[in-house]
Structure 1
Amino acid sequence: MSPFKGQTGLKRIFNASGYSLAGLRAAFSGEAAFRQLLLINLLLIPLAFYLDVSRVERALLVAVCLLALIVELLNSAVEAAIDRISLELHPLSKNAKDMGSAAQFTALGLIAAVWAIILLG
């Protein structure tokens, strides 16, 4: 057991919610890519409810948009952890950051693919 895990039950859920909101605030204030993805989501998600598609298709259209936000949060977390360890240029640090970027690139490609398949298929 970690000495940092002190709470259980509802207190733990309350604390975790606060940490999550702090993470969202940090991403919004410190990450331009997160703000850009949020803007894309604010456009695409309402559009998904406007389109004449099935409920499953609508769920997929929304899910891939939210997935890109999740990937960006994880990518930003990896970058912050790498920078916290050292700002020194190192091949492993570069690989970690590049892989996070590749994950986001793949998530954006997934948005394009799913929306294209549903709208054009």
Structure 2
Amino acid sequence: MTENKTSFSEFKSKSGLKRIMSAASYSMQGFKAAWRNEHAFRQELAVVVPAMLLALFLPLPAVHRLALVAVLINLLIVELLNSAIETVVDRISLERHPLSKVAKDVGSAAVFLALLLAAATWIVILLPLARAFFTA
């Protein structure tokens, strides 16, 4: 069975290097939009960037540093997805609707879980380091 190429979106990406360059450009536009329009994203970056720098310089095994940075990046990923959900819901309608509320609340719950995961990871990894520091 042959595919009908006209049924694909005109916005579908190209192939090869052009696709990679386009994807990078769209990603940068997404970061700029999140920075410009999403207060929560800016707040999280204000915590995440210094925390990542701290994680890189702590006297920890590389895998622990990776875990500390990974949960922070995960938090930003989930926040970006939540922002995308909220934007799409608002694009569809600004009227209050129970399904819109559910979509936004579920996105918010995902961010909350990412925050809990990040906090738990940092506590589990840093607690022994803090104990060693304060008992020495």
* Residue equivalent to 2:30: 23
SS class of match (1:7): coil
Runs of 4+ with >2 A deviation? none
- Give distance in 1, aligned partners of 2:119 and 2:45: 16
Asked which structure has the greater CA Rg, the reply is 2
* Residue equivalent to 1:38: 45
* Residue equivalent to 1:91: 98
SS class of match (2:95): coil
Q: How does 1:33-72 map to 2 (within 5 A)?
A: 33-72=40-79
- Give distance in 2, aligned partners of 1:54 and 1:3: 47
* Residue equivalent to 2:110: 103
Does 2:80 correspond to 1:73? Answer: yes
* Residue equivalent to 1:118: 125
How many residues are paired up? Answer: 121
- Give distance in 2, aligned partners of 1:112 and 1:44: 11
SS class of match (1:16): helix
Using the size of structure 2 for normalisation, the TM-score is 0.85
Residue 6 of structure 1: how far off its partner (Å): 5.5
Amino acid at match of 2:42: R
Using the size of structure 1 for normalisation, the TM-score is 0.95
Residue 3 of structure 1: how far off its partner (Å): 2.8
Contact 2:13 2:22 in 1 (8 A): no
Contact 2:68 2:121 in 1 (8 A): yes
Name stretches of at least 5 consecutive residues in structure 2 with no aligned partner: 1-6, 129-136
% identity of equivalent residues: 54
Q: Which has the higher contact order (CA 8 A, sep 6+)?
A: 1
Contact 2:52 2:72 in 1 (8 A): yes
Amino acid at match of 2:8: S
